[in-house]
Structure 1
Amino acid sequence: MNVLTSTLLALLLIVSGTVPAGAATASTGQGEVYAGTHVEFETSGDAIVDYTVNGETVLQSITVQSRSTAERRGDVRAGIGLSAVTQLSGAAVSLDSRTEVSATVTAESGASMRAHDNSRGILVVRSGGESQYVTVNVSSSTQTDRESDKRVVVTTEDGTTGTFVVVGDGEVTVNDRGNVSASVEGDGALVFRSYPDGRDDDDRREEQLISEGKAAAEVHVMQKSEEGSEFVADVVRYSEDTTVEVTQKTAGTVTMTAERSQSRGKIVITSVSERAIGSVEDLRVTVDGEAAVEASSYSELESAIDNGDASKFLVRQQSSARASTDVLVAVDHFSQREITLSEDSDGSDGSDSTGSDGDGDNRTTDAQGPGFGPIGVLFALVATVALTLARRR
Structure 2
Amino acid sequence: MKRIAIVLAAMLVTAAVPVGAVTAQQSSAESSAYAGTHVSFDASENAVTNYTVDGETVLQSVSTSSQANAGIGLDIALSAVTDIDASALSLGTTTETSATVQADSGATLNAHDNPKGTLVIAAGDESQYVTANLSGESKAEQVDDSRVVVENDNRTGTFIVVGDGEVTVNEEGNVSADLAEDSRLVFRSYDGERTAEDERSEELIANGSAAAEVYVMQENGSTVADTVTYDEQTTVETTSDAKDNVTMTIDRSVHEGTIVMTTVSEEALAATDNLSVTVDGEAAVEAESYSELQSAANGGDNSAYLVQETSADAESNVYVAVNHFSEREVSMTNDDSSTTDSTTADDETTSSSTNAPGFGIGVSVVALAGAALFARRRA
* Same fold flag (TM > 0.5): yes
Deviations 1:13-71 (A, max 9, x none): 9x89xx9xxxx97746xx7221111001111211011111111111110000000001x
Q: CA deviation at 1:88?
A: 1.1
Paired residues of 2:82 and 2:131 also in contact (CA < 8 A): yes
Residue 236 of structure 2 is matched in structure 1 by 244
Residue 278 of structure 1 is matched in structure 2 by 270
SS of the residue 2:74 aligns to: coil
1:221 alignment partner, one of 213, 216, 219: 216
Residue 164 of structure 1 is matched in structure 2 by 159
Paired residues of 1:231 and 1:250 also in contact (CA < 8 A): no
SS of the residue 2:116 aligns to: coil
Paired residues of 1:41 and 1:52 also in contact (CA < 8 A): yes
Deviations 1:125-145 (A, max 9, x none): 001110000000013521111
Q: Kindly provide the amino acid, as one letter, of the partner of residue 49 in structure 1.
A: T
Residue 94 of structure 1 is matched in structure 2 by 90
Q: Kindly provide the amino acid, as one letter, of the partner of residue 96 in structure 1.
A: G
Q: Does 2:122 correspond to 1:144?
A: no
2:327 alignment partner, one of 315, 336, 351: 336
Q: Percent identity?
A: 48
Q: Does 2:96 correspond to 1:103?
A: no
Deviations 1:206-257 (A, max 9, x none): 11111111101100011122xx2x1111000112110000133431111110
| CA–CA distance in structure 2, aligned partners of residues 38 and 62 of structure 1 | 18
Q: Does 2:378 correspond to 1:378?
A: no
Q: Kindly provide the amino acid, as one letter, of the partner of residue 53 in structure 1.
A: V
Q: CA deviation at 1:8?
A: 2.6
**Matched length:** 363
Q: Kindly provide the amino acid, as one letter, of the partner of residue 332 in structure 2.
A: L
Runs of 5+ in structure 2 lacking a partner?
none
SS of the residue 1:135 aligns to: strand
Paired residues of 1:100 and 1:363 also in contact (CA < 8 A): no
Q: CA deviation at 1:264?
A: 0.6
Residue 118 of structure 2 is matched in structure 1 by 122
Q: Where in structure 2 are the equivalents of 1:188-267 lying within 5 Å? A: 188-225=183-220, 228=221, 230-267=222-259
Q: CA deviation at 1:348?
A: 8.6
For residues 107 and 382 of structure 1, do their structure 2 counterparts lie closer, same or farther at Cα, with a shift above 3 Å needed? same
Q: Kindly provide the amino acid, as one letter, of the partner of residue 47 in structure 1.
A: A
Runs of 5+ in structure 1 lacking a partner?
355-361
| CA–CA distance in structure 1, aligned partners of residues 256 and 345 of structure 2 | 31
Q: Does 2:274 correspond to 1:292?
A: no
2:303 alignment partner, one of 308, 311, 317: 311
Q: CA deviation at 1:353?
A: 9.1
Residue 67 of structure 2 is matched in structure 1 by 67
Residue 268 of structure 1 is matched in structure 2 by 260
Q: CA deviation at 1:322?
A: 3.1
Paired residues of 2:256 and 2:299 also in contact (CA < 8 A): no
| CA–CA distance in structure 2, aligned partners of residues 375 and 108 of structure 1 | 38
| CA–CA distance in structure 1, aligned partners of residues 38 and 302 of structure 2 | 36
Residue 81 of structure 1 is matched in structure 2 by 77
Q: Kindly provide the amino acid, as one letter, of the partner of residue 12 in structure 2.
A: L
Q: Kindly provide the amino acid, as one letter, of the partner of residue 289 in structure 1.
A: G
Q: CA deviation at 1:6?
A: 5.1
SS of the residue 1:78 aligns to: coil
Deviations 1:236-282 (A, max 9, x none): 01121100001334311111100101111000011101101124221
Paired residues of 1:353 and 1:364 also in contact (CA < 8 A): no
Q: Over aligned residues, Cα RMSD in angstroms?
A: 2.9
TM-score when normalising by structure 1: 0.84
For residues 379 and 317 of structure 1, do their structure 2 counterparts lie closer, same or farther at Cα, with a shift above 3 Å needed? same
TM-score when normalising by structure 2: 0.87
Paired residues of 2:16 and 2:365 also in contact (CA < 8 A): no
Paired residues of 1:144 and 1:153 also in contact (CA < 8 A): yes
| CA–CA distance in structure 1, aligned partners of residues 179 and 314 of structure 2 | 34
Please say which of residues 327-336 and 304-313 is displaced more in the overlay: 304-313
| CA–CA distance in structure 1, aligned partners of residues 339 and 295 of structure 2 | 30
Residue 359 of structure 1 is matched in structure 2 by none
